[in-house]
Amino acid sequence: MKLLLKEMAKKEDLLSGGHRACTGCVPADVLRQVLLAADNPVVATCATGCMEVVTTIFPYTAWKVPFIHSAFENSAATISGIETAYRALKKKGKIKDEIDFIAFGGDGGTYDIGLQALSGAMERGHKFLYVCYDNEAYMNTGIQRSGATPMGAATSTSPAGSVIPGKRESKKDLTTIVTAHKIPYSAQTAPYNWKDLARKVKTALAAEGPSFINILSPCYRGWRFPMEEGIEICRLAADTCIWPLFEIENGNWKLNYKPKVKKPVEEYLKIQGRFRHLFKEANKHIIEEIQTEVDENWENLLQKCGETQ
């Protein structure tokens, strides 16, 4: 990994500074880490969302790679067309370079609006990497709940109050849904562990077929925490097993991180304003429900990975 760090440190940053993302924006850091891990020239697409808006406000762009802005729902479809054209031109001898294709989308454009296009691209077998930067709500349009929003979180469309205590439904398990397409590689990671993230990007891009990486990407505006705490939030998500780090390669599940001491979910929830209402006496049972769900999910993951508690 020392060699990997030296190698990445020498590379040009393919996402320019000076873009319009918030100070301390974790999704912007995710884009930088993913692009730095790629070994070949990259062609990128990005669905409408925070990362598209802040990096491509006309007439400027922060992208130093060929880039196509897709509609909210079709980043995967766009990259499919590009990859197909590349294969056709390569077959005719008009392109000789090895090129990596990466589609980016937030949770709104991936868990919800773009799921159909993503599923179709995975089923057809195009060779590309889809990266979901998961900030657990439609942050760009006003912090509305999405299929990625966890139970109990307050958003503008699942507000905590006298009628409902935040979102009532559980978070969709997108990584498992995508894995069910029997693609060569899928994974979950978080930017606090840059080594894990970089290795998974390299593995995904080398896969013979479509690959998918779901990356936890806290949003300080929507999650309501101090802007400098984003990476620490990611670490806590892994230590509480709310966001486990794992990968599935050719059907084989592997756990990449097991905390020495599994922390209670309360430690993760209490530092985020979107969960503040859960600590009122009337809502504390929801914390218990979240803990139970996390424990069950963690146990199921350990079994899939052939691990023990």
In 10 A of CB 200, how many CB atoms? 28
Domain-wise residue ranges, the chain: 2-304
Neighbour-count burial of 205, counting CB atoms closer than 10 A to its CB (0-12 exposed, 13-18 middle, 19+ buried): buried
Query: For 72, which DSSP code?
Result: T
* Rounded Cα gap, residues 125 and 183, in angstroms: 8
pLDDT value of residue 2: 59
Q: Assess contact for 131 and 109: CB atoms under 8 A.
A: no
* 3-state secondary structure at position 168: coil
pLDDT value of residue 172: 97
**Phi, psi for 47 (deg, rounded to 5):** -70, 155
* Rounded Cα gap, residues 195 and 257, in angstroms: 12
Q: Which CATH class is domain 2-304?
A: alpha beta
Query: For 144, which DSSP code?
Result: B
List the pLDDT tens digit at each of the 309 positions of the chain.
556 777 888 889 999 999 999 999 999 999 999 999 999 999 999 999 999 999 999 999 999 999 999 999 999 999 999 999 999 999 999 999 999 999 999 999 999 999 999 999 999 999 999 999 999 999 999 999 999 999 999 999 999 999 999 999 999 999 999 999 999 999 999 999 999 999 999 999 999 999 999 999 999 999 999 999 999 999 999 999 999 999 999 999 999 999 999 999 999 999 999 999 999 999 999 999 999 999 999 999 999 999 976
* Rounded Cα gap, residues 173 and 156, in angstroms: 22
pLDDT value of residue 1: 56
* Rounded Cα gap, residues 72 and 78, in angstroms: 11
Nearest one of 272, 234, 244 to 30, comparing CA atoms: 234
